[in-house]
Structure 1
Amino acid sequence: MFHPNTPVPGPEIHIATAIREARQSWRVFDDLLDLLPRHRHRMVHDCRAAFLEGDVFTKRLRQDLESLLDDLASNLERETEWRIATVEVGAIGDEPLFDDRLVRSRTDRGLALAKVLDRLSGPAEKILHAHALIDAQQVFDRLQST
């Protein structure tokens, strides 16, 4: 239960968690090299190095990570096909009862992209959340000092 006199943890806990997860998940970038176009390889290498070193709180990494996540999501969408399939959902007496369902199917590349995106999204979310906390803390400190 929350008590009003209990100190609320600052962004330090979130920052430490983000750094730890980044250091544990840097290998995901090796899988990305085969899935992304060649012109994105430099950005992937830079992100990999930052994750490996735990140096995840630079403006450039934040921009690269957001761009990389957007790229992965758009590539995944291109590798996904949606269609309507009619399936038998039951029967009334001897008459079958059919319903239309929206079905998603992905190519092999799409499945690999989804797997990598899933592995990257957790650490990336923690890093971007910590960035937002740092920005909010800086704004709060500026407002408090005026």
Structure 2
Amino acid sequence: MFHPNTPVPGPEIHIATAIREARQSWRVFDDLLELLPRHRHRMVHDCRAAFLEGDVFTKRLRQDLESLLDDLASNLERETEWRIATVEVGAIGDEPLFDDRLVRSRTDLGLALAKVLDRLSGPAEKILHAHALIDAQQVFDRLQST
């Protein structure tokens, strides 16, 4: 429960968490190199270096990370097939009851992309959240100084 005298953690906590998670998860970019087209390798190398060094609060990394996540999501969608399957869900007496279900199937590349995207999304979300907090703090400081 929130108490009015309890200090609210500032952006420093979120920034420290984002840096720690980035440093712990830089190896995910090695797996990405095998899954993405060659023209994305430079961006992957840059993101990997930034994560390894904990230098995750640059505008370029933010743009690269957002672009990389968008690419992964669109590639994953291309490697995913949705179809309707009829399955038996029960029976009334001797008569079976059927229902239609939406079924997702992925190629091997799609499964690998989903695994990497899952490993990358946590640290990336924390980094992008910390970026948003920094931006909000800068706006707040500007408004406060006027």
Is this a same-fold pair by TM over 0.5? Answer: yes
- Quote how far apart the aligned CAs of 1:7 are: 2.0
Deviations 1:22-68 (A, max 9, x none): 00000000000010000000000000000000000000000000000
- In 1, Cα distance between equivalents of 2:89 and 2:9: 51
Residue aligned with 1:100, SS: strand
- In 2, Cα distance between equivalents of 1:137 and 1:95: 64
Identity of aligned residues (%): 99
- In 1, Cα distance between equivalents of 2:12 and 2:81: 42
- Quote how far apart the aligned CAs of 1:135 are: 0.3
Unaligned 5+ segments in structure 1 are none
Deviations 1:71-99 (A, max 9, x none): 00000000000000000000110011100
Give the length in aligned residue pairs.
Answer: 146
- In 1, Cα distance between equivalents of 2:28 and 2:108: 18
- In 2, Cα distance between equivalents of 1:48 and 1:136: 26
- Quote how far apart the aligned CAs of 1:4 are: 1.3
Unaligned 5+ segments in structure 2 are none
Q: Which segments of structure 1 move beyond 6 Å, counting only runs of 4 or more?
A: none
Residue aligned with 1:109, SS: helix
- In 2, Cα distance between equivalents of 1:79 and 1:6: 48
Residue aligned with 2:57, SS: coil
Q: Which moved more, 1:32-41 or 1:5-14?
A: 5-14
Residue aligned with 1:33, SS: helix
- Quote how far apart the aligned CAs of 1:2 are: 1.8
Name the counterpart of 1:63.
Answer: 63
- Quote how far apart the aligned CAs of 1:6 are: 2.1
TM-score (normalised: structure 1)? 0.99
Q: Please tell me the root mean square deviation across aligned C-alpha atoms, in Å.
A: 0.5
- Quote how far apart the aligned CAs of 1:8 are: 1.2
- In 1, Cα distance between equivalents of 2:102 and 2:6: 49
Name the counterpart of 1:130.
Answer: 130
